[in-house]
Amino acid sequence: MTATPVDRRAWSVLAVSTLAFTVCFMVWMMFGVIGIPIKKQLGLNATEFGLLTAMPVLTGSLVRVPLGIWTDRYGGRIVMALLMAATVPAIWLMAYATQYWHFLVIGLFVGLAGGSFSVGTPYVARWFPKSRQGMAMGVYGAGNSGSAVNKFVAPVLLVSFGWAMVPQVYAAIMAGTVVLFWLFSHSNPAHLVASNVSFREQLKGLKDPRVLKYCQYYSIVFGGYVALALWMVQYYVGEFSLDIRVAALLAACFSLPGGVLRAIGGLLSDKYGAHKVTWWVMWVSWICLFLLSYPQTDFTVVTIAGARTFHIGLNVYAFTALLAVLGVAFAFGKASVFKYISDDYPGNIGAISGIVGLAGGLGGFVLPILFGALLDLTGVRSSAFMLMYGVVWVSLIWMYWTEVRRTDVMGAPRPAAPC
């Protein structure tokens, strides 16, 4: 069978949209690095630090549903350009914040950049045939690697010029990206949702149990990714007493594959199906989180030669290796969840991806706060991984009962009817 040809403009749209999303994600994750000197400057505890890093994630999540709907109605080109332009003043003003509430309020406006995911996903998907939409959305989603770019760029600026230089440079980068995006992106009126489709009709997917299930999956593979990307630099600094530049470099071993390899996850989902890829992603994540959850432990055993003390715990190398594997699993999972959406809701990708993206983003907002609260409560840093281990358990159980078990019983592929 001859492959469906792809419009030449589609590749330009995909390339420039991925660049735009990378920059947006870099800005969205800014507090993951500059939050550390701000925490020291303001004397914040772990919970307050978690809230600081999570504020941009909140608005970036809440705007995803309306942005996805507006993309369906008005087109991704105009919505993406306006969204990026709107964040530039807030990014610049971050450099002049001096009090905790300043950072929280400005962070809400900076967080608008995170909504770019719900714009670009339907925008690029509609330029490609269904057989290649998983690839297209995976490549676009690789813009998550902006989190790793932030970990490479921000520490250098921070050490050389102070943390205030980071938002100033990022504001200039965002402004330049707006211009590039507008010059090299395109519009196609055929991709717009018909004007007679109401807001309520676009949101009817909220009543579908499958959408709730995909929200649960995405809350861990994306929400967990965002939360750990924000949390890991300070985790390395506190747990292993590393310099912030070394800590950021090691944290990028999670962020980089967690972003870049999303494209491969899209290709695998096109070839093997969303269910099979997501099932294996959850199991690999479960194993990695189980091992990462174990805290540094010293215990004493009474032997025939007297008391002996043993130590159990991950060193920095084993910890980083497991974190990298987890990042790869999350990358594949982020792509496979959206393959579910393009398969099940081809005419309503924008609204459904906005709903699922909202759930994932809210996971990225809530988890850092819970990480901080658990750390303040228990004093155990690995409690963050214990929490995520429990969330993955929920996803595995849900997937087993609604997909794996039903397939085994019925002897048929995953049903199209709501689970």
Asked whether residue 53 is domain-assigned, the answer is: yes
The two three-digit tokens of residue 52, written as one number: 């600081």
DSSP character at residue 300: E
50, 34, 130: which is closest to 364 by C-alpha? 50
Asked whether residue 4 is domain-assigned, the answer is: no
pLDDT at 206 (0 to 100): 67
| b/e per residue 378-410 (b: at least 16 CB within 10 A) | eeebbbbbbbbbebbeebbebbeebbeeeeeee
Q: State what percent of residues in the chain have pLDDT above 70.
A: 90
Q: Evaluate whether 117 touches 142 at the Cβ level (below 8 Å).
A: no
| b/e per residue 99-110 (b: at least 16 CB within 10 A) | ebeebbebbbbb
Owner of token pair 């159990």: 312
Asked whether residue 112 is domain-assigned, the answer is: yes
Q: Evaluate whether 215 touches 107 at the Cβ level (below 8 Å).
A: no
d(CA 236, CA 340) in angstroms, rounded, equals 35
Integer CA distances (angstroms), 52 to 25, 206, 224, 228, 294, in order: 17, 30, 17, 14, 27
d(CA 191, CA 392) in angstroms, rounded, equals 36
pLDDT at 323 (0 to 100): 94
225, 218, 213, 269: which is closest to 404 by C-alpha? 213
What is the domain extent for residue 27?
A: 10-189+203-410
Tens digits of per-residue pLDDT, 379-390? 999 999 999 999
pLDDT at 417 (0 to 100): 39
Compute and round to an integer the Cα radius of gyration of the chain. 21
The CA dihedral of 407, 409, 411, 415, to the nearest 10 degrees, is: -40
Q: Residue 222: which residues within 8 A CB-CB, separation 6 or more?
A: 330, 334, 337, 357, 360, 361, 363, 364
The two three-digit tokens of residue 371, written as one number: 């990480």
Asked whether residue 5 is domain-assigned, the answer is: no
Q: Residue 206: which residues within 8 A CB-CB, separation 6 or more?
A: 355
Residue segments in the chain with a per-residue pLDDT below the cut of 50: 1-2, 195, 409-410, 412-419
pLDDT at 418 (0 to 100): 39
How many domains is the chain built from? 1
Asked whether residue 247 is domain-assigned, the answer is: yes
- What distance lies between CA 182 and its chain's CA centroid? 25
Could you tell me the CATH number of the domain that includes residue 26?
1.20.1250.20
The two three-digit tokens of residue 413, written as one number: 């592929």
The CA dihedral of 90, 158, 35, 383, to the nearest 10 degrees, is: 140
Query: How would DSSP label each residue in 373-404?
Result: HHHHHH--TTHHHHHHHHHHHHHHHHHIIIII
Tens digits of per-residue pLDDT, 280-333? 999 999 999 999 998 888 888 998 888 998 888 889 999 999 999 999 999 899
Q: Residue 319: which residues within 8 A CB-CB, separation 6 or more?
A: 240, 292
pLDDT at 48 (0 to 100): 93
Number of residues assigned to the chain: 419
Asked whether residue 2 is domain-assigned, the answer is: no
Instruction: State the pTM of this model.
Output: 0.80
Asked whether residue 418 is domain-assigned, the answer is: no
Asked whether residue 196 is domain-assigned, the answer is: no
Q: Evaluate whether 59 touches 182 at the Cβ level (below 8 Å).
A: no
pLDDT at 419 (0 to 100): 38
